[in-house]
Structure formats: structure tokens, C-alpha cells
């Protein structure tokens, strides 16, 4: 199917070098998709997702960790809202990671993320993640200073070492049934500006805007460099990165929903079957209920 091929093209091939600027167009939207069709396909995808999630929950063996990384206003929040709209809230959890607290800084850098991992049977979403530890922390090295690290843990090699640690961490998760799906919502600098201006001009969007967003925008090129390095070091066979075009929100949602749904489909999940003894009990219970006085 065309859409499956399309999804494949968003994957950062493990152990190949990519250029974010040259290889990934933020304004891409497939020619064969019309916005109206996309709405319908998204709705179907959401229904599929709900079905798969039900079996994931019933089986209680695998968990799905969805990581969302992006620049401000790329659409993380609205992607979560739309893509997860059909899902049973009991089987889903969202964690948004902000500037770490004093308690969090007193621990190793993966601590707060480990604590938030989804239980088996659940879908867990990280709205920002441990990747901030090699993104915002890299763009603002003074943050690293606040992490109270021993000298040997903050030398020049700190970023490569963290990439390696993250790869090992994810390998460990995947080997233990926690599937890791990583999305970068790739918005262009121009589109970010349009969305910021909208947040300023429309009163009901004002709350979404803070002046620090504009300050971070000033570091755009540094962020892009840091992201590119992340993709070139942490897209692995066991947890590849998907770079999703994000200038058109309808396309972003459709792409993310499809990747998640295909991933769950590939697990071939089925409802647990009961053994003969349990079946006898069910029949006995049925009999009792039907003959109740």
C-alpha cells in the first residue's frame, strides 16, 4: 500500500548519516492524499488503534512507549489529542517533561523518565523525553552544570556517551517487551512563526504562548544541529526515529496514527484464551446465572 511505503520513507535508516535539511521536507504532504480523504483515513486509523489497544491491554505482555520530540508549536499536543481520541483512557498515559525539579536533578538523568515508563498492556506517551538531555541541555550547556555530575561524566565526550547510554537503555526496554516508537515532528521555522503569531493574535490561544518560546527560536540552528546528531546516533534497528513532516497538521496526525497502528498490528496481538478448567468454570457460572431463582 502506498501509505506503508510512505511511512517507511520517514524512518531514519540506522547507521546511515542523514541531513535534516536536505533529506526531510517539513512541508511534505503526499500528492495521492487529499485533506478530505485524510480525515476519513485518520478516523479509520483511530478505530483500528482502539481495537489493537484493547488486545494489548488484555494480553498484558507488551507496552508501547511513544516519544514525541519537536520544536515549540510543532503540534505535539494536538497530535496526542487527535491520535489518541478513540483510546480507552485506562490503557493510556501521557507524561509531559518540563524543566527538571531539584529532586529530579539529584538523580541520574534517566531517573525521572524510567519512573514514568508504561506498564505492560499500556500505551505511554512522553511529551518530550530523555532526548531533551542531549537537545536542550546541549544547546544550553549551563543546564549540564546544574546536573551535579562528577567531572568524568561531563567532559567533551558527554554527548556521544549519552547517545550510547540511551541506545542501551532502549535496547533493554525493547528486549523486555516495551516497544519504543520515536517521532520528531518536523516543523519549519517559517511555519513556527505563523503559529506563534496566531497564538498572539487569537485571545483563546494566548495562554499557549510564552516569551521564552521566541528566545528558544533564536537558537533554531543549534537545535537543528543537535537534532540531526541525535538522529544520526540513536536511530537503531530496535528503536528507529520517524521524522514526520509537520507544516500541515492533518498530515502529521495521519502519519503518526498510521505508524502507531501498523506497529501494534505487527505484534499480531490476540485475546488471551482460557484453559479447559477455566472454561468449565465459565459454563458452571452460566448455568448458575441462568437458573437463578
Dihedral-angle region of residue 11 (phi above 0 means left; psi in -120 to 50 means alpha; beta otherwise): beta
Q: Taking contact as CB under 5 A, which single stretch among the options 67-75, 101-109, 136-144, 198-206 is the one that binds Mg ion?
A: 67-75
Cα separation, 79 vs 285, in Å, equals: 44
226 binds, among ligand ATP, Mg ion, none (CB under 5 to 8 A by kind): none
Q: Looking at 30, 41, 58, 77, which residue binds ligand ATP (CB under 6 A)?
A: 77
Q: Looking at 26, 45, 91, 100, which residue binds ligand ATP (CB under 6 A)?
A: 100
Q: Looking at 30, 33, 117, 143, which residue binds ligand ATP (CB under 6 A)?
A: 143
Nearest residue to 83 via CA among 38, 29, 131: 38
Nearest residue to 5 via CA among 258, 231, 183, 241: 258
Q: Taking contact as CB under 6 A, which single stretch among the options 54-62, 82-90, 124-132, 270-278 is the one that binds ligand ATP?
A: 124-132
165: which residues sit within 8 A by CB, 6+ positions away?
110
Does position 132 interact with Mg ion (CB under 5 A)? The reply is no
Does position 128 interact with ligand ATP (CB under 6 A)? The reply is yes
Q: Which three cell numbers stand for residue 225?
A: 544541529
- Please say which residue, 54 or 213, places its beta carbon nearer to Mg ion: 213
Q: Looking at 18, 27, 136, 153, which residue binds ligand ATP (CB under 6 A)?
A: 136
Q: Which three cell numbers stand for residue 73?
A: 508549536
164: which residues sit within 8 A by CB, 6+ positions away?
none
Does position 245 interact with ligand ATP (CB under 6 A)? The reply is no
Q: Looking at 68, 71, 72, 196, which residue binds Mg ion (CB under 5 A)?
A: 72
Do residues 74 and 245 touch, judged by C-beta distance below 8 A? no
Q: Which three cell numbers stand for residue 66?
A: 511513544
Q: Taking contact as CB under 5 A, which single stretch among the options 69-77, 123-131, 142-150, 184-192 is the one that binds Mg ion?
A: 69-77
Q: Which stretches of the chain bind ligand ATP, using CB under 6 A?
A: 72, 77, 96-100, 127-128, 132-133, 136-137, 143
Amino acid at each position: 500500500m502506498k501509505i506503508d511505503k510512505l511511512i517507511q520513507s520517514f524512518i531514519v535508516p540506522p547507521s546511515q548519516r542523514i541531513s535534516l535539511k536536505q533529506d526531510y521536507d517539513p512541508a511534505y504532504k503526499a500528492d495521492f492524499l487529499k485533506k478530505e480523504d485524510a480525515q476519513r483515513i485518520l478516523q479509520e486509523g483511530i478505530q483500528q488503534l482502539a481495537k489493537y489497544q484493547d488486545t494489548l491491554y488484555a494480553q498484558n505482555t507488551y507496552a508501547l512507549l511513544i516519544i514525541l520530540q519537536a520544536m515549540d508549536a510543532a503540534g505535539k499536543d494536538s497530535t496526542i489529542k487527535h491520535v489518541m481520541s478513540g483510546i480507552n483512557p485506562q490503557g493510556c498515559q501521557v507524561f509531559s517533561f518540563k524543566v527538571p525539579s531539584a529532586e529530579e536533578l539529584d538523580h541520574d538523568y534517566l531517573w525521572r523518565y524510567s519512573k514514568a515508563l508504561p506498564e505492560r498492556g499500556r500505551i505511554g506517551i512522553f511529551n518530550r523525553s530523555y532526548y531533551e538531555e542531549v537537545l536542550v541541555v546541549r544547546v544550553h550547556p549551563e543546564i549540564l552544570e546544574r546536573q551535579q555530575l562528577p567531572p568524568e561524566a561531563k567532559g567533551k565526550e558527554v554527548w556521544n556517551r549519552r547517545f550510547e547510554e540511551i541506545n542501551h537503555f532502549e535496547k533493554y526496554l525493547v528486549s523486555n517487551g516495551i516497544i519504543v516508537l520515536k517521532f520528531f515532528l518536523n516543523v519549519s521555522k517559517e511555519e513556527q512563526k505563523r503559529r506563534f503569531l496566531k497564538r498572539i493574535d487569537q485571545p483563546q490561544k494566548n495562554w499557549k504562548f510564552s516569551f521564552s518560546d521566541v528566545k528558544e527560536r533564536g537558537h533554531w540552528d543549534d537545535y537543528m544541529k543537535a537534532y540531526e546528531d541525535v538522529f544520526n546516533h540513536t536511530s537503531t534497528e530496535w528503536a528507529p526515529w520517524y521524522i514526520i513532516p509537520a507544516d500541515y497538521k492533518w498530515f502529521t496526525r495521519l502519519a503518526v496514527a498510521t505508524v502507531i497502528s501498523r506497529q501494534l498490528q505487527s505484534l499480531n496481538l490476540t485475546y488471551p484464551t482460557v484453559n479447559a478448567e477455566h472454561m468449565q468454570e465459565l459454563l458452571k457460572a452460566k448455568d448458575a446465572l441462568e437458573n437463578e431463582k
